Amino acid sequence: MRGICLKLLLGCALFTYQGIVYGQDAQVIRPPTNITFDFERDGLMPPVWGFEIYSSGKDRYYERDSKTDISPSSNRWSDVSVSATTMAVLLAAESTMSEHCETKAKNIANTGKKTLVFWHSDFPRSCIFNYSDDAAVMAAASAFQSMAETIQIGEKLKHSLRYDRLGLDAEMDVLVEEVKSGNAIEVQNIAPVLQSIIDDDRVMERVKRKAGHLLEGAGIAVKP
Residue 127, φ and ψ in degrees, nearest 5: -155, 130
The amino acid at residue 120 is H
Residue 73 has a pLDDT of 61
114 near 145, Cβ under 8 Å? Answer: no
4 phi-psi bin (left φ>0, alpha ψ -120 to 50, beta other): beta
Residue 68 has a pLDDT of 56
Assess whether pLDDT exceeds 50 at residue 93.
yes
Per residue in 168-196, pLDDT tens?
999 999 999 999 999 999 999 999 999 99
For the chain, give the percent of residues with pLDDT over 90.
73
Per residue in 59-76, pLDDT tens?
999 998 766 555 556 789
Cβ neighbors of 199 (< 8 A, separation 6 or more) are: 223
Residue 71 has a pLDDT of 52
Average pLDDT over residues 119-132: 91
Residue 212 has a pLDDT of 98
Residue 23 has a pLDDT of 43
Give the CA-trace dihedral at 101, 84, 13, 141, to 10 degrees.
Answer: -10
Assess whether pLDDT exceeds 60 at residue 125.
yes
CA 6 – CA 142 distance, rounded (Å): 17
Hey, where are the domains in the chain? 3-217
Residue 59 has a pLDDT of 96
Confidence band, pLDDT 50/70/90 cuts, at residue 11:
very low
Per residue in 47-60, pLDDT tens?
999 999 998 888 99
**Residue with more model confidence, 3 or 87:** 87
CA 214 – CA 212 distance, rounded (Å): 5
113 near 41, Cβ under 8 Å? Answer: yes
